[in-house]
Amino acid sequence: MLLKNILGIGFASLLIVGCGGHEEHLSSPIHSTPATIGLEMAPRQIQPGWKFKTDGPVYSSPVVADGIVFCGSNDGRLYALFAATGEKRWEFKTGGAVCSSPVVAEGTVYFGSLDGNIYQLDANSGEKYWWFRTNNEIATSPALRGGLLFFGANNGIIYGLDSLTGRIKWFLETGDGIWSSPLLTGNTLFFGCNNGYIYALEA
């Protein structure tokens, strides 16, 4: 009878622990979760594979295509670096900070600058094919689809350009600065504006 009572108490204890998911009395360096119980390990600091120094802060997000990293800097340049080594392949100098993240497609790279221009360059050499002037800062990252390039500028205008020639196809005036990068989903272009509105356009 005593053995039966002991077994019953033990079984009830197992049920309590199982429902709770973990044992509350465990403490560091042991930690427990509903799924695992193990030793807590200190985080380790890792080292970069490489780093490349520009002459200004970097707000542009890098884009990688065909083993090349494309990224802008507030020093006014767009850089093309070998992804494996960080060695510079080429750089292109603009007249203002490059906060815009580039778009790369079919051997060309598109990006904007605070000098008010949007540029198309040869992705292999950095040679300039064309540029389009807005006369106001461009901090947004362009979007590309079906031969059209979309971007906004701080003059409050969203543009649709012919991606091959840089000629303007259409535009929309919002009345306030555009710092929101456009997003394409299907045939719809979405972007935000400093006037507090979010827009949807048929692209």
Chunk the chain into consecutive blocks of 10 residues (it has 203) and report each block's average pLDDT, rounded to whole numbers: 44 42 47 59 93 98 98 99 98 98 98 98 98 97 96 98 97 97 95 98 90
Q: Which of 85, 116, 114, 119 is nearest to 102 (CA)?
A: 119
Give the model confidence (pLDDT) of 88-140 as tens digits.
Answer: 999 999 999 999 999 999 999 999 999 999 999 999 999 999 999 999 999 99
| Buried/exposed code over 59-82 (b: 16+ C-beta within 10 A; e: otherwise) | ebeebebeebbbbbbbbbbbbbbe
The pLDDT of residue 37 is 56
Question: What pLDDT does residue 33 have?
Answer: 56
- Cβ count within 10 A of residue 129: 14
d(CA 138, CA 88) in angstroms, rounded, equals: 25
The neighbouring-strand residues paired with 112 are 118
Could you tell me which residues come within 8 angstroms of residue 90 by beta carbon, excluding any fewer than 6 positions away?
79, 80, 125, 126
Residue 9: the pLDDT is 44
In terms of CATH architecture, what is 63-202? Beta Barrel (2.40)
Conformation bin of residue 78: beta by default, left when phi > 0, alpha when psi is -120 to 50:
beta
pLDDT attached to residue 24: 46
Provide the residue ranges of all domains of the chain, joining segments of one domain with +. Answer: 63-202
pLDDT at 40: 78
